[in-house]
A = this chain, B = another copy of it.
């Protein structure tokens, strides 16, 4: 068993309800990482339609911070099961209060054999993981227990608070135990890098995400995942951050976008 599998596992307690536990090992500061909470909720949704194992589109609204080292309950409801797409919603609750709300469409990302038109998003150039800088608590000003679960390397030009001169963070990510990520794990990976505004604004602390939408574009090949995140739109304390992940073949696996608050310090 790997950390990821063990610590997102759920037990079904009725047709629409599951129970589990939120570990503190994926914390950012005092709070469980948002991507980790989504991964737990998606485990329930995936069980609603086993013929559709891959999350094609996932939206999560963060209602309240999760509670580390505490039980959780996931209530999941299928909205429609189609031939190529199953749609469902889920609520993850702890201590009687809903923490996240998820709306997701699952399908099958096994490549079709049809010869279809394509538009490719090329991977950016990136120094090798060994030439990058480990993500560290000092960069962001909060403790990062998450780094016991995820190995995150940052482009050396973008590793210092305010040093990049632009709102961009790039680098590499993998599970510390070398578990090969499935399509669902890429949703977690898309919310694990430092906030990209930190390269422009300096130490920004906790950047609470209001909503995150992830489109998984293909199943990742084994190995390091390359990530690049940019904030090109910041207005009135709310930022839109766009992210992309590529696998070691250079193929795009995820596009993500979130709206988050940049709090005054």
Contacts and interface: CB of A to CB of B under 8 A. Distances in A.
Contacts of A27: none
A169 to B, nearest CB: 14
Nearest to A112: B236
Interface in A221-247: 231-240
Given A59-B213, A211-B57, A215-B240, A262 B117 contact: yes
B211 A105 contact: yes
Interface residues of A, number: 51
Nearest to A204: B117
Contacts of A87: 61, 63, 101
Contacts of A119: 167, 200, 231-235, 239
A259 B213 CA distance: 11
Interface of A: 56-57, 59, 61, 63-64, 79-80, 85, 87, 89, 91, 98, 101, 103, 105, 109, 111-112, 114, 116-121, 167, 200-201, 210-211, 213, 215, 217-218, 231-240, 252, 255, 257, 259, 262, 264
A114 B213 CA distance: 28
B231 A59 contact: no
9 contacts: A56-B259, A59-B103, A79-B98, A109-B236, A111-B236, A112-B236, A112-B237, A116-B237, A117-B234
Nearest to A80: B63
Contacts of A167: 119
Nearest to A84: B261
A85 B211 CA distance: 11
Nearest to A201: B117
B259 A240 contact: no
A102 to B, nearest CB: 9
A98 to B, nearest CB: 6
A105 B259 CA distance: 11
Minimum-distance CB pairs A-B, first 9? A119-B234, A59-B59, A57-B211, A63-B80, A103-B103, A213-B213, A121-B233, A61-B87, A116-B237
